[in-house]
Amino acid sequence: MSKKRILVAEDDPHIRTGLVDTLESEGYLVVATSDGNQASSLFPQDTFDLALLDIMMPGKDGYSLCQEFRAKSPQTAIIHLTAKSQEIDKVLGLKLGADDYITKPFGVQELLARIEAIFRRTGSQAKNDKTTELPSKLTIGPLTINRSTYKLEYEGQDCALTERELKLLEQFYLHPGEVLNRSVLLDRVWGIEYYGTTRTLDQHIAQIRKKMNSLGASDPIETVHGVGYRALNEKASRHF
């Protein structure tokens, strides 16, 4: 089995060195940088399974890098490293496409556990993912989801989707008209070992809706209060 490749973007030399030593001792291949601009230049030249991004560092910050990496490689997992503890800072990172965050100071074992959990989730999803049989383009209501380019398309316009957003839309496509419980969606998209709250799911749905609205399209996703979401039957369609 090939080793997982991890990008570490952290400006504190002590934390960066500690991360590199720890991750390499666990068998990961690590590329490290102290600058957001350097991280940006490294990313298209290499393929990473995970990026650990400090929020505040010289050059591009972790938020900007998260958006950039999501557009270039939706499959790469992202964990934000942040000294900020306010909820709004964590929420912003998740909205921009981060898979997780960890607040400094943090323990080595906690970080390793979070990394291992992400890799277990993605590995389990790859083995059991029925969406691999789906066509490259899906239709939900008036919208087209291009799975090859991670784009949401409507009347000649498009906008980028994160991997989580794409997977959520795939679930709505696979189950038109069905009410999908929040916990079910979390299990199918984030994995059964996800320990976060349903608020993360709600934030991702809100982001999808904003993107639909930005394209001028009607929203085919209905909120079923206290339960979850569904793609309205009369507006959802499936094509092969």
Contacting residues for 117 by C-beta, under 8 A, at least 6 apart: 193
DSSP 25-87: HTT-EEEEES-HHHHHHHGGGS--SEEEEESS-SSS-HHHHHHHHHHH-TTSEEEEEES--SH
User: Residue 97 corresponds to which tokens in the numbers above?
Assistant: 């496409």
**What is the model's pLDDT at position 234?**
46
**What is the model's pLDDT at position 128?**
47
**What is the model's pLDDT at position 130?**
54
Is the per-residue pLDDT at 34 higher than 90? yes
User: Which contiguous run of DSSP H or E holds residue 23?
Assistant: helix 13-25
Please provide the average confidence, as pLDDT, over all residues in the chain.
84
How does pLDDT run across 151-174, given as a tens digit for each residue?
999 999 999 998 889 999 999 998
- The domains of the chain, with CATH numbers, are 5-128 (3.40.50.2300), 131-231 (1.10.10.10)
**What is the model's pLDDT at position 104?**
87
Contacting residues for 75 by C-beta, under 8 A, at least 6 apart: 163
Q: For residues 118 and 26, which has the higher predicted lDDT (pLDDT)?
A: 26
**What is the model's pLDDT at position 126?**
47
80-89, 158-167, 209-218: least confident range = 80-89
**What is the model's pLDDT at position 92?**
81
Q: For residues 72 and 113, which has the higher predicted lDDT (pLDDT)?
A: 113
Identify the band that residue 196 occupies on the pLDDT scale cut at 50, 70 and 90: low
**What is the model's pLDDT at position 199?**
83
Residues in the chain: 240
Closest by alpha carbon to 99, among 108, 86, 90, 87? 90
Which long-range contacts does 185-193 make (Cβ < 8 Å, 24+ apart)?
185/228, 185/229, 189/164, 190/121, 190/164, 191/120, 191/121, 191/122, 191/124, 191/125, 192/124, 193/117, 193/120, 193/121
Is the per-residue pLDDT at 91 higher than 80? no
How does pLDDT run across 104-147, given as a tens digit for each residue?
888 888 889 889 888 877 664 544 455 556 889 999 988 999 99
Is the per-residue pLDDT at 238 higher than 50? no
Is the per-residue pLDDT at 239 higher than 70? no
**What is the model's pLDDT at position 122?**
65
**What is the model's pLDDT at position 212?**
95
How does pLDDT run across 54-63, given as a tens digit for each residue?
998 999 999 9
